[in-house]
Amino acid sequence: MFFEIRIFSIQGFLLTKWRSWILLNDSWSSKWWYSTVHIVTVTVGAGVLSLPTVMAYFGWALGTMLLVGFLILSLMCYWQLIEMHETEHGRRFDRYHELGQHILGRHLGFWLIAPLQAIAQVGIDTVYIIAGANSLEHVYSLFDKCKELDVHKCKGINLTYWMILFMGVQLLLSQLPHFQSITWVSFIAAVTAIGYCTLAWVGILIKQPALSSGSAASAPTQCFQNVGHGYPHGSKAHLAFGIFTSLGKLAFAVAAGHNIALEIQATIPSTSRHPSKRAMWRGILVAYLVVAFCYLPVALVGYKVYGDETRDLCSGLDNVLLRLRNPKPMIVLADLMVFIHLCGSYQVLAMPLFSNFETLVERMFKFEANLKHRMIMRSCYVVLTLMLAAAFPFFGDLEAFFGGFALIPTTYVIPSVLWHLSRKPEPFSPPWIANLLCISFGIAVMATSTIGGLRNLIMKRRELEFFQ
């Protein structure tokens, strides 16, 4: 009897302790650099590797201006979210939809933000599965002697199997309970992100790129010959949709972190003397210095070497690393860094979704979820993203669609609207004008990039069977 009571008390303690880890609470003591690590991890995603393709549609001047402009607007919207995280009376909004409910009302605030936030996180994680699988497939292709002899007779390993390998890693990491528990994962991911971005543009400079096999084998052989840097030409419809898609890719590359900014700030302690917004803003500024260091060289060096060939003949090669085969050790290391980084980034984006979903399930079904329930729910999420990735294995087009449909509104439109309604800037003042311009720009890019990405997904989906 005593033994049974002892066992039950231990189980109850473990479950209570585990629940306290899951929930956001004031006892957490994250440092300012925690936010730097998390923001670098989720922002410097696989989208950076498609920036040379984006540059090819806009040219040197406009492309650089758009990239820098997106970064500045993203930084402004981060500042708005950080400032609105805590009221003058000390109330903190630890989740994005809680801030929306405070300003827009209980129902409108929740249903406007929570679904878009969930779609954005699921969409990014889906794209990361595809990008991680592409990296592993590229490593395999570098050592596949069969393809060097006769590329047409070699089938290789289906991309879906590489996705399943990525899923296996996520099934393990998804059992980590909360943001603080994945800080070490996020730190490793941030370091590898800086690493593969550096290796990518250095590899392009020191070695003339050549087509790889595998995913890139179907691209025309005349790619990267007679490279030019002119403005797009061709049918108006083709160019219009290409520009729309490129805007979505650019948004995807720079706009991932806003969906979890408040959840990250919630882990930083806040007092009247040392409010959390100071530490969070410091972390964001350092993070964006790192982001600029990663993005600008990849975009500019990649466009310099590949030029407008990435726009026309080689449009199927959105990932800049897939165009490289030598020096082999460097390319293998870069691809493995991409895989490691995406494993960490997947978890940082999924963690708030886990917390929100588990809280929702508990409230709907009125029961206290234990460790077993959470293992099942989180594993189902990982399997869901795998199925979406296997059904739509189009890295660049999914980037454009989710970048426009979910990331643009949650990054540029909603923060500016919430700021406008809560702070009520004076009409025609600089903050008022900047805010309205950001909202208008966000709505325009959201509409165009969603159309471009959806159109390409429909066209490419017709060429494949589901889960082939």
What pLDDT does 360 receive?
Answer: 81
Count: domains in the chain: 1
Which residue range(s) make up the domain with 410? 50-149+158-467
What pLDDT does 358 receive?
Answer: 83
What is the overall mean pLDDT for the chain?
A: 81
pLDDT in tens, 407-426: 899 999 999 999 999 998 89
Angle, CA 403 vertex, CA 357 and CA 199 arms, to 5°: 105
CB 256 within 8 A of CB 39: no
Instruction: Report DSSP state, residue 412.
Output: I
The residue-averaged pLDDT of 82-88 equals 88
What pLDDT does 154 receive?
Answer: 64
Q: Would you say residue 231 has pLDDT above 80?
A: no
pLDDT top residue among 252 and 74? 74
The residue-averaged pLDDT of 291-304 equals 91
Q: Would you say residue 227 has pLDDT above 70?
A: no
Q: Would you say residue 46 has pLDDT above 80?
A: no
Give a yes or no: residue 93 inside a domain: yes
Give a yes or no: residue 252 inside a domain: yes
pLDDT band (50, 70, 90) for residue 374: confident
pLDDT band (50, 70, 90) for residue 9: very low
Determine the Cα–Cα distance for residues 167 and 269; give it in Å rounded to an integer: 34
Give a yes or no: residue 185 inside a domain: yes
Residue 157 zone, left/alpha/beta (φ > 0; ψ -120 to 50; rest)? beta
The residue-averaged pLDDT of 85-101 equals 88
Give a yes or no: residue 192 inside a domain: yes
What pLDDT does 362 receive?
Answer: 81
Q: Would you say residue 135 has pLDDT above 50?
A: yes
CB 372 within 8 A of CB 431: no
What pLDDT does 457 receive?
Answer: 79
Determine the Cα–Cα distance for residues 373 and 175; give it in Å rounded to an integer: 11
- Residue 348 DSSP SS3: helix
In sequence order, which residues have a C-beta less than 8 Å from that of residue 174 and are 6 or more positions away?
A: 347, 350, 354, 378, 379, 381, 382
* AA identity, residue 363: R
Give a yes or no: residue 29 inside a domain: no
The residue-averaged pLDDT of 337-362 equals 89
Q: Which helix (H) or strand (E) holds 363?
A: helix 328-365
pLDDT band (50, 70, 90) for residue 207: low
Give a yes or no: residue 2 inside a domain: no
The residue-averaged pLDDT of 40-50 equals 85
pLDDT in tens, 305-340: 877 766 544 444 577 787 777 788 899 999 999 999
How many CB atoms neighbour CB 148 within 10 A?
A: 11
Q: Would you say residue 262 has pLDDT above 70?
A: yes
The residue-averaged pLDDT of 276-280 equals 92
% of the chain surpassing 70 pLDDT: 81
pLDDT top residue among 20 and 71? 71
pLDDT band (50, 70, 90) for residue 8: very low
Q: Would you say residue 230 has pLDDT above 70?
A: no
What pLDDT does 383 receive?
Answer: 94
Choose among 212, 217, 246, 251: nearest CA to 231.
Answer: 246
The residue-averaged pLDDT of 43-52 equals 84
Give a yes or no: residue 24 inside a domain: no
pLDDT in tens, 159-181: 889 999 999 999 999 988 877 78
Q: Would you say residue 145 has pLDDT above 70?
A: no
What pLDDT does 215 receive?
Answer: 45
Q: Would you say residue 257 has pLDDT above 70?
A: yes
Its sign, for the CA torsion 291, 293, 298, 300, is: positive
Q: Would you say residue 130 has pLDDT above 60?
A: yes
Beta-carbon-side half-sphere exposure of residue 399 (alpha carbons within 13 Å) = 30
The residue-averaged pLDDT of 87-97 equals 86
- Provide the CATH number for the domain around residue 412: 1.10.4160
Give a yes or no: residue 97 inside a domain: yes
CB 446 within 8 A of CB 231: no
pLDDT band (50, 70, 90) for residue 356: confident
Kindly report the pTM of this predicted structure.
0.85
What pLDDT does 68 receive?
Answer: 93
Determine the Cα–Cα distance for residues 54 and 393; give it in Å rounded to an integer: 20
What pLDDT does 387 receive?
Answer: 92
